[in-house]
Amino acid sequence: MSESSIENTAPVEPLFGRLLTAMVTPFAADGSVDEKATAELAQELVARGNDGLVVCGTTGEYSTMTDEENARVFRIVKDAVGDKASIIAGVGSNDTQHTIHVASLAEEVGVDGLLVVTPYYNKPTQSGLLAHFRTVADSVKTPIMLYDIPGRAGIQIAPETMVALAEHPNIVAVKDAKADFASATEVMSRTDLQFYSGDDGLTLPWMAIGAQGLIGVTTHVIPEQFRDLIDSVVRGDLATAQRIHRDVHPVVTATMTRVPGAVAAKTILQWQGRLATNTVRLPHVEPTEAETARIRSDLEGSAAASSIE
Please give the DSSP secondary-structure letter assigned to residue 111: -
> What 3-state DSSP class applies to 215?
strand
Bridge partners (DSSP) listed for residue 53: 21, 87
Contacts of 306 (CB under 8 A, 6+ apart): none
Which residue type occupies 103? A
84 is catalytic: no
Question: What are the residue ranges of helices labelled H in 48-180?
Answer: 67-81, 96-109, 126-139, 150-153, 159-165
DSSP state, 53? E
Instruction: State whether residue 146 is helix, strand or coil.
Output: strand
Choose, from 62, 147, 196, 266, the residue flagged as catalytic. 147
- Catalytic residue flag (residue 147): yes
Instruction: Answer whether 132's CB lies under 8 Å from 96's CB.
Output: yes
Sign of CA pseudo-dihedral 52, 54, 55, 59: negative
Which one of 62, 84, 123, 175 is the catalytic residue?
175
Question: Measured between alpha carbons, how far is 4 from 70 in angstroms, rounded to an integer?
Answer: 45
Question: Distance between CA atoms of 101 and 61, rounded to whole angstroms?
Answer: 18
Interatomic CA distance for residues 27 and 11, integer angstroms: 37
Q: Are strands 194-197 and 213-216 parallel, antiparallel or unpaired?
A: parallel
User: Is the dihedral angle over the CA atoms 42, 148, 160, 124 positive or is it negative?
Assistant: negative
Which residues are known catalytic residues? 147, 175
